[in-house]
Structure 1
Amino acid sequence: MTLTKLDHRFGNEQLSYDAKPNYQPYVKLTFFFSKGSNISDEQFHRHWETVHADLTVASKDFRVNDLRRYVQFHQTQESKEKVKSMGMDLMDVDGCSEIWVKDWDSWERFLNSPEYAKALGPDCKNFMGSTIKVMAGMDNLIYGKAVPSEGGSDGIQFH
């Protein structure tokens, strides 16, 4: 099947078929995972937001390899129940982390660093289940302000 251009009247020319996407100048890796079966929800979230976060940002290779941003997204039991009650299809994970890097080389240097091998990789076994799923790519900022320190372009702004 080939997708053809629809006869659509664009409300925002920045999104028209002929417009260029607004990719931001970094690579984003998003990791989806669940807690280990041997720990409680509270232990999972607390370890991840403290010990694992500290191991990550304390790593020398994190600071020198053009890693730009590290964000944790905690999906609590309360959040899961709310999504289910709204009839939405829940992604059954407990957490998601997001790391922005300057480029793929920066990420590979961090991933292959001695500190990662010694501390971060092994720590995952303390609180995560065995399967980690990854999405990687670039943000196409549609609406909102770009992160000033990253040098990207703002998306659509309504005043």
Structure 2
Amino acid sequence: MKASIGIKENYLAEVAHSLGKILADEFVLYTKTRKAHWCVTGADFHSKHLFFEAQYGQLEEIVDTVAERIRSLGHFPPATLKEYLVLTHLTEQSREKNDSIGFIKELLADHESILIHLRENINGYAQAFRDAGTSDYITGLMETHEKMAWMLRAHLEQ
């Protein structure tokens, strides 16, 4: 059954596609954060292992809510690694060292990249697509990424 929520069908499709790209970014960042959790080494291993675990837990929740937002608009989210790698604007990174500072810098750059993308598109949901709900959702998502980026950035301050 089609969603009859006061948004034109073609707008719902465009918003769902846009959210699919965000979902791909979130899933790739989740995976990279999981990798940091699993692979971090060094004298600060234990604290960073726990820190990355908390971060990937937040990202896991984000992945689920983005996918559910797409479903609430009457569409199906991308749900394969192949689709995510095509849709994401993030890159997979192969690391030679597994130090916490390297992981933190990489993850921070990804959070900031996602933040810029969200900020650039937030008004379009409400204005171009008449979808204030998604615009509001993206605002909350942006705030979550701002806090997560701050937590990462704080580890780099001397």
**TM-score grouping bracket, smaller chain normalisation:** under 0.3
User: Which TM-score applies when normalising by structure 2?
Assistant: 0.26
User: Which TM-score applies when normalising by structure 1?
Assistant: 0.26
More helix by share: 2
Structure with more contact order per residue of length (Cα contacts < 8 Å, sep ≥ 6): 1
More strand by share: 1
